[in-house]
Amino acid sequence: MYAIIPDVRLMGFGYEEDPLIDGGSLLGDRLFWPTYLLSTMLLPDDSLVREAFVVGAKECDEYFLARLDDSEAWPAFRLGLRDGHEIWVVLCNDPDDSFTDFLMCRAGGERPLRLAVAGGNEFLPGLSWTELLHAVSFTGAPYGVTDQDARLLLLLPALGDPDLPAEAATRVAQALAACGANDRARDLAAYLLERRAWSRWRSVDGVMLNDGRHSLRNPHGPVNALADADLREVSSTLALGDL
């Protein structure tokens, strides 16, 4: 299900020399998905995650420290897109500043653009619901994570959209169930999306912009927001896909 990531490096944000490893082998671990969601979604109540995946808080804490928080091995997940761009999800395990990074780059890790940061000094959101579905829909890359359900859950922490269609919770529940959640998947999906229902999107001259004060896709937001040309490149790439 998960192809081997070839030996490529992210060429920017200091990642050239960082110890990135292929995270694909982790996706089948029983504790990966609940731990990933708990560590990236900053949920005030973690009980639904634990109930849906039938795990304990201590189990997830121990798994996080052992497999996802190694300062000498930073799991990275590479998602190929339809036009040759890629999205990388990197668990940045710098001892002084740990967070989950969502970057779009050109083929082979060239010219990364930061979409969002979850954890630490957060910059969210980075994706609308429609853009997330477009990114998830492509499964033709000969590398990285190609399973649609895994792609959806990996990108979910970067989502922020209050204008969700009625079927959004059903689609997220489907992904959760496919990745190991039990019959509480629907309740968990609704809760996760509720926590992402903020910061509206708007199209300006064909470029999708977000109104969130901490969104990198708000040109009037953080000082490190994407430049105009980069905003257009991200929007045009994420407009490609099947719904």
Q: What pLDDT digit, counting tens, does each position of 164-219 carry?
A: 999 999 999 999 999 999 999 999 999 999 999 989 999 999 999 999 999 999 99
Residue 223 has pLDDT above 90, yes or no: no
Mean pLDDT of the region 71-89: 95
The model's pLDDT over 138-165, given as tens digits with 9 standing for 90+, comes to 999 999 999 999 999 999 999 999 999 9
b/e code 175-210 from CB counts within 10 Å (16+ = b): bbbbbbbeebbbbbbebbbeebeebebeeeeebbbb
Average pLDDT taken over every residue of the chain: 93
Domain boundaries, the chain: 15-238
Mean pLDDT of the region 128-134: 97
Residue type, 199: S
Mean pLDDT of the region 90-100: 93
**Token pair belonging to 149:** 């359900």
Residue 235 has pLDDT above 70, yes or no: yes
The model's pLDDT over 3-58, given as tens digits with 9 standing for 90+, comes to 444 556 788 999 988 999 999 999 999 999 999 999 999 899 999 999 999 999 99
Query: Quick one: three-class SS letters along 139-166?
Result: CCCCCCECCHHHHHHHHHHHECCCCCCC
Query: Whole-angstrom Cα distance, residue 214 to residue 79?
Result: 24
Mean pLDDT of the region 229-242: 91
pLDDT at 139: 92
How many Cα neighbours within 13 Å face the side chain of 38?
25
Residue 2 has pLDDT above 50, yes or no: no
Query: Whole-angstrom Cα distance, residue 221 to residue 223?
Result: 7
Residue given tokens 């994420």 in the structure block: 238
> Helix, strand, coil % (nearest 5) of the chain?
35, 20, 40
pLDDT at 240: 78
